[in-house]
Amino acid sequence: MDVNSAYLSWEAAYRLQQGASLDLRTVPSAVGGNPETRRGIILAKSIPAKKYKIQTGETLFSAKQKCPDLIIVSPNYDLYRQCSEYLKRILTAYSPLIQQFSVDEFFLDFSGMEKLWGDPLSTAYQLKETIKEELGFTVNIGISSNKLLAKMGSELEKPDKVHTLFPEEIPTKMWPLPVEELFGVGRATSQKLRDRGIKTIGDLAQEDPTYLKRFLKSYGILLWNYANGRDNSPIIENKAIPIKGLGNSTTIPFDVDDRRTAQLVLLSLAETVGMRLRRNGFCAGLVSVSIKTSDFLYFSHQKKLYLPVDCTSAIHATACALLDELWHGQPLRHMGLRVSDLCASDFFQPSFFEQSLEKQKRIDKAIDSIRLKYGAGAVFRSAFLHSGLKPLSGGVIEFEEYPMMTSIL
């Protein structure tokens, strides 16, 4: 099961629920940041936007050149995670075995569920309509005897469709498709295949696998099996994946060429990274800083800490020291901050010399609780007033404007 234009659909459904009159899915629109601040790429697009050949992954500038009237909205990752969770709750009623493949794709093992729900095809239509009625967005569902064919089936005609793609249907439904449509065939691989006259999935399926292995190695054998609908991977329930590190980065609205502004950008990142650390109950033993210049040159530096920390001020101080070692004054357009070597905060015991951090930890905890209750922008540091920078920045938590905001020193 695959959500149709997930980010855009979720954004559109949410806005309609909040009283908006325009459905973003009916006009050329995309999710992908703010073109005025040079932020990001196209993450999702509406079906009308596809008529302008707007591609997921292209820059906002390029998309605007193709369609000057394109409506672009900034991504709201918290909303998308919530939509994904609500969707998963509905799916659990239809199968005890679910594998989340991405934020908007799921595999369901329907084996043995026919006695409860009926045949898979009618159940898929029922599930599709339930999602549309309860959550306000549409999905595509593919049905088959293995995960590969089910996924390929979900990619057939969109949106709001149910397709079967059983092995006997492969020659008519899958083989005529361009080779790029096969799961696992990326841009570079498709070019290698087309250079050798392999233009459709059917061409690939009927090719000699030993010939494919000559220029694609073992991956060629895998793709040959995929082209013939062969896949024996089981559906695996998602288990909690240990977090190895946390980080955020941001593209700055203007080129930064002075130390104070660069430190403020790092502070805005340290705020969000610190909040995420504390929310997940971790302290970090390694801090990394990365920068990208206006000439798109990339540099990074990291430091191992003597004692793990979760305090925003401590993370920021280390990040600023790394920046001083790393940066030589070139104009910056992008900065990143990451922490790793994580340990449980309740297990970590600070030394006698680190007791001064306890006061800061209490302040951080109080600020976190205010932001959790009233929003990320409810309280922020006064250093950001009139700075042109967001008090909190990064891909996971974005600062929002509020009618009433409180600044802190």
Which residue numbers are catalytic?
Answer: 105
CA-to-CA distance for 284 and 344, rounded, in angstroms?
A: 9
Q: Quick check: 7 and 43 in contact, CB under 8 A?
A: yes
Of 235, 222, 220, 221, nearest to 144 by C-alpha is 235
CA-to-CA distance for 220 and 139, rounded, in angstroms?
A: 31
Element (H, E) at 330: none
| Percent helix, strand and coil across the chain, each to the nearest 5 | 45, 20, 35
C-alpha pair distances (Å), 80 with each of 101, 108, 271: 15, 21, 22
CA-to-CA distance for 382 and 408, rounded, in angstroms?
A: 5
Classified as helix, coil or strand, 365 is helix
- The sign of the CA dihedral 145, 148, 149, 150 is positive
CA-to-CA distance for 313 and 291, rounded, in angstroms?
A: 20
Amino acid in position 28: P
Q: Quick check: 2 and 140 in contact, CB under 8 A?
A: yes
Of 267, 338, 333, nearest to 301 by C-alpha is 338
Classified as helix, coil or strand, 231 is coil
